[in-house]
């Protein structure tokens, strides 16, 4: 019987993907582990591997096709000993239980990119979203309370019920995003939980005040064009809207004198070792100091290094700092893992690598998913201060403004100092005002005295 190769779900939240490239053609033989195609999601380009042996009998979705719904049949595989022509002529059906055809690495939901809170630009609204594709018959499913279904094994559902865990909030790592027993075990300790996708029951819903048609009617015909949103822009809109609606934000702003930091940066860069081509092996930026200071500050104030869940507070042992990187069409937050343990030169080189691969959409899911906090820096654009939206499951995000010379009063005299304003956004469910003030105070002490980061 022909084997249907389906558009894989590269994350539990993925509904569509772009079939960027076929690496096999009709008539090619494949074996388990062969990479057969490349799929573009809103965040990255990922490889799809075959897990059955056979011959590619027919390709149904040509490369370059965009917005292919998850579980749509993209190709047909003739099994060992099967007639290839007969398999190609057979009518594919996605309504049957999906056979072992192709799979991609299991991934957790993509976090919302760090972004400043600002008024959206005047632009045409997105087209009406297509209905979520009907998944092929798969493991037993239950409603997730958000208009979709959660696929989970019977054992996972029983373990979740016994532990008082909502299986709908557990990230599945089984085939096609299925929730399995190990996922529930992780969820008991607060790991692998999804951010809420919609306002909780009883919370006020915020509906759009104008329809697409009403908005367009305000503009003169022919004076605009509608550019459809891509997957990344839709994800950013959905996740940040959910965050600002569901996470009670409060903001703390403080000014930092970075005179010592700038002097230390100049000295460190001047002493950087050279490679064979006489180029420095690293070049530290102000943002590298910011990442390190935020990481160490969270270690000093561990009650801020947390994530909120309905069942309990998740306290993280390490400071995994996400850093907003602008890329075509949006933002992404690659994560410096265990940043408190790393040198400034290591952080600098990791960030340069992440930024380059982010812009070409080559980051792996594990490089941008998760984290315990985030940093969004608009200083290079001359922005003096701003507020940023928290990326669940983070409880904080630091918005960093530009460094500039400002007059300050010291000992009754006016002096000129290099000042930088930072604003900390806090999730009030997890962090109260005084605790947030301790964290931003610890950051200020470190950024103004960078030698303390090395202790």
Q: Which residues are catalytic?
A: 428
Q: Which stretches of 55-115 are DSSP H helices?
A: 84-89
DSSP letter assigned to residue 274:
B
Contact 424, 400 (CB under 8 A): no
Which residue is associated with the tokens 């000014």? 255
Contact 52, 101 (CB under 8 A): yes
Half-sphere exposure (CA, 13 Å, Cβ side) for 342?
24
Q: List the beta bridge partners of residue 155.
A: none
Closest CA to 82 of 168, 3, 189: 3
Phi/psi of residue 144, nearest 5 degrees: -100, 5
CA 37 to chain centre: 23
Six token digits for residue 88:
């190609």
Six token digits for residue 440:
């931003």
> How far apart are alpha carbons 101 and 52 in whole angstroms?
6
Half-sphere exposure (CA, 13 Å, Cβ side) for 320?
19
Q: What angle do CA 100, 106, 108 make, to 5 degrees?
A: 145
Question: H or E stretch including 351?
Answer: helix 344-359
Which residue is associated with the tokens 């812009």? 359
Contact 289, 339 (CB under 8 A): no
Q: State the CB neighbour count (10 A cutoff) for residue 415.
A: 10
């Amino acid at each position: 019987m022909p084997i249907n190769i389906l558009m894989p779900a590269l994350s539990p939240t993925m509904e569509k993907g772009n079939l960027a490239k076929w690496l096999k053609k009709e008539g090619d033989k494949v074996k388990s582990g062969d990479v057969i195609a490349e799929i573009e999601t809103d965040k990255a380009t990922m490889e799809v591997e075959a897990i059955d042996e056979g011959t590619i009998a027919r390709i149904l979705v040509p490369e370059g096709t965009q917005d292919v719904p998850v579980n749509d049949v993209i190709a047909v595989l003739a099994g060992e000993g099967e007639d290839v022509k007969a398999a190609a002529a057979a009518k594919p059906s996605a309504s049957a239980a999906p056979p072992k055809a192709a799979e991609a690495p299991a991934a957790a939901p993509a976090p919302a990119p760090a972004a400043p809170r600002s008024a959206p630009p005047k632009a045409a609204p997105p087209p009406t979203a297509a209905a979520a594709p009907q998944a092929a018959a798969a493991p037993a499913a239950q409603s997730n309370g958000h208009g979709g279904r959660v696929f989970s094994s019977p054992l996972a559902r029983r373990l979740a019920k016994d532990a008082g865990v909502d299986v709908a909030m557990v990230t599945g790592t089984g085939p096609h995003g299925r929730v399995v027993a190990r996922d529930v075990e992780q969820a008991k300790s607060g790991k692998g939980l999804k951010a809420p996708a919609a306002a909780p029951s009883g919370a006020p819903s915020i509906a759009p005040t104008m329809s697409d048609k009403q908005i367009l009617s305000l503009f003169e015909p022919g004076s605009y064009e509608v550019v459809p949103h891509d997957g990344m822009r839709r994800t950013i809109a959905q996740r940040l809207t959910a965050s600002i609606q569901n996470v009670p934000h409060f903001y703390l702003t403080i000014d930092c004198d970075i005179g010592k930091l700038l002097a230390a940066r100049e000295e460190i860069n001047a002493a950087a070792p050279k490679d064979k081509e006489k180029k420095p092996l690293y070049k530290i930026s102000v943002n590298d100091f910011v990442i390190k200071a935020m990481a160490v500050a969270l270690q000093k104030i561990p009650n801020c290094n947390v994530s909120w869940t309905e069942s309990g507070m998740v306290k993280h042992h390490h400071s995994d700092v996400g850093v907003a990187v602008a890329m075509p069409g949006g933002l992404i937050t690659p994560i410096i893992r265990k940043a408190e343990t790393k040198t400034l030169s290591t952080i600098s080189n990791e960030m340069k690598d992440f930024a380059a691969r982010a812009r070409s959409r080559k980051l792996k899911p594990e490089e941008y998913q998760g984290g315990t906090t985030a940093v969004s820096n608009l200083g290079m654009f001359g922005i003096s201060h701003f507020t940023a939206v928290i990326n669940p499951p983070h409880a904080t995000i630091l918005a960093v403004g530009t460094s500039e010379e400002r007059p300050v009063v010291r000992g009754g005299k006016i002096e000129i100092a290099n000042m930088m304003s930072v604003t900390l956004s806090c999730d009030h469910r997890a962090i109260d005002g005084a605790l947030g003030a301790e964290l931003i105070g610890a950051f200020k002490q470190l950024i103004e005295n960078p030698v303390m980061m090395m202790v």
